Chains A and B, each alone.
Chain A
Amino acid sequence: MGPVLADVLLVTALIGALALVHRPLGDYMAAVYSSKRHLRVEKWIYRSVGANPDAEMRWPAYLRGVLAFSAVSVLFLYVLQRVQDKLPLSLGFKPITPDQAFNTAVSFVSNTNWQSYSGEAAMSHVTQTAGLAVQNFVSAAVGIAVAVALVRGFARSRTGDLGNFWTDLVRGVVRVLLPISVVAAVLLIAAGAVQNFGDIHTITTLTGDKQAISPGAVASQEAIKDLGTNGGGFFNANSAHPFENPGGFTNLLEIFLLLVIPFSLPRTFGKMVGSVKQGYAILAAMGTIWLLAVVAVTWIEFAHPGTASQIAGGSMEGKEQRFGEGPSSLFAVSTTMTSTGSVNSFHDSFQGLSGGVLLLGMMLGEIAPGGVGSGLYGMLIMAVIAVFIAGLMVGRTPEYLGKKIGTREIKLAACYILVTPALVLIGTALAMALGKGESSMTNIGAHGFSEVLYAYTSASNNNGSAFAGFAANTEYHNTMLGLCMALGRFLPMVFVLALAGSLAEQKPVPETAGTLRTEKPLFTGLLVGAIMIITGLTFFPALALGPLAEGLAT
């Protein structure tokens, strides 16, 4: 069987698995976030924290919960890295420097998992499992919680109540993320991923050389890293490392984990607002954009127009033999479009135009299907923008799901979509103007500029993948990218929760003949169009200087 046919089968198998699972999982999540009952372990957690799980919160209280939890998390993770040498299982690693520890703490709490460090050479067992892996769970659960709060805003009326943040957080971890992670981690070990707390041990090879084999609780971290769309690899090579991703089966499993919650949440949304069709209209928009990008990148990688790839006879630079062009492309698109950022091949060495598609995937704002939770709320904001545009065209006050999109709502949505482009473009421009971009480039010319643009796009959109030639571990970039990650995560959440609050207070407007039918394919088309135009207009000039210039030159 040829590589192209095998790749078509791979994509088909993936879509089939997602189609099979999204319904039970989506329904299950809707039940989890609507249930009035608490599990025994949850009751124990609420008791030891002193939280009342049944107290309803209005949006400012919900937001304060999100921010307080995240602030404490950043501080905790920062301290853990600074004192890791004094804790057990340190592997002899030194404390992380202040700027890098800040960057890493913000990175993991904001669900970005940008890594300016190299895991196997810097982070102790305790930092990895009790620090970084914990944030993989809780930052993902925070993302889902905020999305659920927004969905409640649409579903509820004449109340400002959005649910309880602590309850949503705990349920996300205990009932959704943990069980799936345990199963996935065991499957990963069965397929060869390592899972131990051993020491680095050195063996003598047949040639008489020494080789140091890294230990680690890798599988447990790999599972939640992908499931929670986090992306921070245990090792520097991330999911290209054979201990993280030993073969074709684990590769498919990891891509499945990246996509399964983001592609199931629209079903959850549909259930909670009382019309699964509304969820499928959103899902269709996400799926269309994702599939288009998969086809584009796979096509370009197989064609390998780059000068060096032409001489080599294939686009294998920065890719593993067991994966090859097709599965690497599928992983690359899925990771950039879910705000995950784990990689099984290095995007820096992809063909110029492929790099452009991956960049564009992040610039869309991580909504196709986007990170866990953040993808759904990002897409719902775009839906609000799309009904607003449709409303302007026919001269009607726009409505979505029976709620009026008035001045306040559209202002909040507009603020939301301005945050990340501003961070990306200002961040990149500042780095270039101050000469900090150039000094961190590995590549030259247009591709070098792409490395800087990619870094600020990845951080601001909470993706975390990199054109890894970019030397990120400098005081300037650690600080600036840290700020981009924090603002890119939490400012949008402010607008989302404010919007949720204002929607929940409204009384529903009855549907009339003039209401835009948002569950129809026409709306999906309008939504995809709005997304493309808004992103295209915002980022085209920057893309033209980087990947487009590079891709068109060859």
Chain B
Amino acid sequence: MQRLFLIFLAAFLINNILLIRFIGLCPFFGVSSRFETSVGMSMAVVFVMTLATLVCWGVWNFLLDPLGVGEFLYIPAFILVIASLVQFVEMVIRKVSPTLFKAMGIFLPLITTNCAVLAAATESVKPGFWKLSLEYNYGLGEALIYTIGIALGFSMVIIMFAAMRERIEIAPIPRSFKGFPIAFIAAGLSSLAFLGFKGLFGI
């Protein structure tokens, strides 16, 4: 239990995918300008990351690893699987629930081959890819906890950042800093703040 909690916390806060590792910057800056879109995006990310890890775990453990091709084939294989999966899910949601499709449907293609999703899937599935000062060979449960941690970390930061950017939007800042420049500065400052979590519980 303690190990699961540590894995979650490590993925959620200490190695936050956006602010500490700066992976997935395009959605981070692209959709964080408005609060509603960032919430929709977060929902989609949590959903897709969890699904992607689930499927990739299967692909790795039942296909790539037993056949001995995993070491060099994992990136194309994971991308292929994740992209098709997201496409498929998008079709299903479009048919089954138009409301849900409206809320997060337009974000699904955006994260089809997003680096953050690939990173989350690879790290949680492939042994020895990213070390968190924890012994690294996750079972399915641990892999899921890890990826949910990453996804929730992504959501927390992007929503928090959208709230900040909405306020920045109306603040009297020089024109040359408007838009992305001030957003990058704000992201850098938030990143500094997140560095403070390093060493929490000795992770």
A is bound by B: no
- A residues contacting B by CB (< 8 A) are none
- B residues contacting A by CB (< 8 A) are none
